[in-house]
Amino acid sequence: AQSVAQPEDQVNVAEGNPLTVKCTYSVSGNPYLFWYVQYPNRGLQFLLKYITGDNLVKGSYGFEAEFNKSQTSFHLKKPSALVSDSALYFCAVRVSGAGSYQLTFGKGTKLSVIP
Amino acid sequence: DTGVSQNPRHKITKRGQNVTFRCDPISEHNRLYWYRQTLGQGPEFLTYFQNEAQLEKSRLLSDRFSAERPKGSFSTLEIQRTEQGDSAMYLCASSWARTDTQYFGPGTRLTVL
């Protein structure tokens, strides 16, 4: 079985400050990890993914995430937050090579960037 | 690239009625997925197609749910004898085998009265 935990329901950060949205995962095997963002009444937008290789992954809109195998974490980061980054963020995982392509999502973290 | 489209965007129905949703994937994407999202939760996987073959189904997909993808292009998700617990956002996603990234549509919000 695979699972994702996003320990914070909400993260508040001041505009211009660095932001971190936490994600830990559990899989039997090697993980493929993803971050998506959801704006109100809209579908999910892909931000970035880790498949293999460099542990630091860079994605859209200045976001990046670091894969840490020993801590089973994949935290999302951005050096300087914008008000427009305020949205709901989802971490997702699937197992590589298992013949299954279903993503398992966390419950989401609401990010609020305060002007 | 026109993105994944879903129709209708909103559907209100009475308990016991049947509903059908449509998903048009990004062209040339051979994989198509259906997820369900309820308020305050992340999306939950329902089913997955590779071309026209339905290869995975979740336990969430009860016998009242059926999905098809004729000719490996658009897909439909039908819910028979709807229940209030079926009220949710139904999301469709598609991907190309080489990139393995799922791109989501805007969703169909179902309300069962």
Q: B72: helix, coil or strand?
A: helix
Alpha-carbon distance of A26 to B20, in angstroms, equals 35
A36 touches A89 (CB < 8 A): yes
Predicted confidence pLDDT, tens digits, chain B (113 residues): 579 999 999 999 999 999 999 999 999 899 999 999 999 999 999 999 999 999 999 988 889 999 999 988 999 999 999 999 999 999 999 998 777 899 999 999 999 99
Alpha-carbon distance of A109 to A18, in angstroms, equals 16
User: Across the strands, what pairs with B91?
Assistant: B35
Set of chain B residues whose Cβ sits within 8 Å of the Cβ of A102 = 33, 45, 48, 56, 58
CA distances from A88 to A85, B4, B6, B49, B63 (A): 9, 20, 21, 27, 32
List the single residue in B43, B45, B101 with the smallest CB-CB distance to A49. Answer: B101
Set of chain A residues whose Cβ sits within 8 Å of the Cβ of B106 = 42-43
Nearest CA to A31 among A54, A51, A47? A51
pLDDT at B61: 85
Core vs surface per residue B31-50: b (16+ CB within 10 A) or e: bbbbbbbeeeebbbbbbbbb
| A46 at B interface, C-beta within 8 A | yes
Higher pLDDT, A27 or B98: A27
A19 touches A111 (CB < 8 A): yes
Q: Name the residue of chain B whose CA is nearest to A96's CA.
A: B100
* Contact criterion met (CB < 8 Å) for B104 and A34: no
Alpha-carbon distance of A80 to B85, in angstroms, equals 41
pLDDT at B1: 53
B13 touches B112 (CB < 8 A): yes
Mean pLDDT on A46-69: 94
Set of chain A residues whose Cβ sits within 8 Å of the Cβ of B33 = 101-103
